[in-house]
Amino acid sequence: MSKVLIPLADGFEEIEALAVVDILRRAEIEVVLAGLHEGAVRSARNINIIPDATLDSINAAAFDMIVLPGGQPGTDNLNSDPRIHELLKEFDAREKLIGAICAAPIILASAGLLAGKHATSYPSYVDRLEGACYEDRQVVCDDRIITSQGAGTAISFGLEIVGRLVDRKKAAEVAAAMLVHDQSHAVWNHRLFNSTIQALVGALEMKDTYTQGHAKRVTEFSLCIGSKLNLPEDELRDLYLGAVLHDIGKIGTNEDVLNKPDSLSRHEETLVREHPLKGTLFIVGIENLSHIVPTILHHHERWDGSGYPGRLKGEQIPLHARIVSVTDAFDAMISNRSYRDGLEKDIAIRELQKQKGTQFDPFIVDVFIECLNDSPFEMKDFSYYF
């Protein structure tokens, strides 16, 4: 059975703490409420709660996740307690899940856990997320960190945690029993998104013959990595969109440059390097697609910080962009281009290994090679996302 720690400080938001406790216990997840001090903890609206334990008695190794509720002055009280920061860093070092809702993501930022991560929070706290990539969504997952926007999103937040700690089936069962209706289908209309995506990729393929099939292969490779990483379904959807549209900015690049049979001049190379920025400008105004901008913008960053356009380094690079960076490079190496023949698969794999820690995230390279070894002849069918 999974076990979750929820620290409570005076002034916590009732819904954000207790709705999450309710949902997790419905899913048979053990929850321990820990007060900063002995005795009752008073909520923002003067409700007294008797915690299960005090913070000093907590052993982080016994838990699978820590969740911080928001509310004020509860958030500030948690943030000012050095024991909370120590716990967060220990949970992070042990690679356990970490969650925060409403104002509480600023505590994660103060502990140095949000730099380069995708996160959300109550809108008035966005400027205190310190290096995070803010997303205006109810719940945002980035690897082991789950954040949510506020009291009205507490149920979605709790169900996301159930999905990560148990599985999606259990989360769906809990939601159904609570009469929580899934709103995702209203946003993710398959025909609408399929038509939009296929039109955009089709327009690009008319300009650049190399891209024919490239976007689909990069998407299949990327989703295979995402599945290996056990990314939740909404993240896989985002990864799909970012991967299939990663080169969409090349629509704004001259065809003669894209299809040039010789090596590019320095000026032409500069023009091609503009495609992540052009893709960002192209996508950012499209409703329900703007959140994939970081994948498009940063898929040519390098692990050592020498990439473009932002010269981001290591885990500053968004996870989805790190994934697409590897799969895009691999497909480019094995594909025939106007100026060279494609490499054999084994040679391309050796090149990926050679560039671990310089161009590519070493862990993502290892996961991708596992994917290739698992499916050496045929990639998994990801038609669900089309």
Peptide bond into 69 cis (omega under 30): no
pLDDT at 267: 67
**Domain carrying residue 160:** 3-177
The alpha-helical segments, DSSP class H, found in 27-95 are 74-79, 82-93
Please say if the pLDDT value at position 385 is more than 50. no
Domains of the chain: total? 2
Q: What is the mean pLDDT of the chain?
A: 86
Taking residues 128-141, what's their average pLDDT?
Answer: 90
Please say if the pLDDT value at position 291 is more than 90. no
Distance CA 272, CA 56 (A): 56
CB 158 within 8 A of CB 23: yes
379 CB burial (10 A radius; 0-12, 13-18, 19+): middle
Verify that 263 and 331 share a domain, yes or no. Answer: yes
Side-chain-side CA neighbours of residue 343 (13 Å):
13
Verify that 274 and 226 share a domain, yes or no. Answer: yes
Verify that 224 and 143 share a domain, yes or no. Answer: no
Verify that 245 and 349 share a domain, yes or no. Answer: yes
The number of residues in the chain equals: 386
Catalytic residues: 102
- Give the CATH number for residue 102: 3.40.50.880
In a domain, 183, yes or no: no
Token look-up 């048979």 returns: 28
Closest C-alpha among 2, 25, 122, 147 to residue 72? 122
* Domain boundary residue, one of 146, 177, 208: 177
In this structure, of 324-328, 352-356, 377-381, the range with the lowest mean pLDDT score is 377-381
pLDDT at 235: 86
The full DSSP string for 121-135 is --GGGGGGSSS-EE-
Question: Would you state the structure tokens that stand for residue 187, as one six-digit string?
Answer: 């946003």
* Domain boundary residue, one of 147, 177, 207: 177
Residue type, 312: L
| DSSP at 360 | B
pLDDT higher for 43 or 340? 43
Element housing 234 (H / E) = helix 233-244
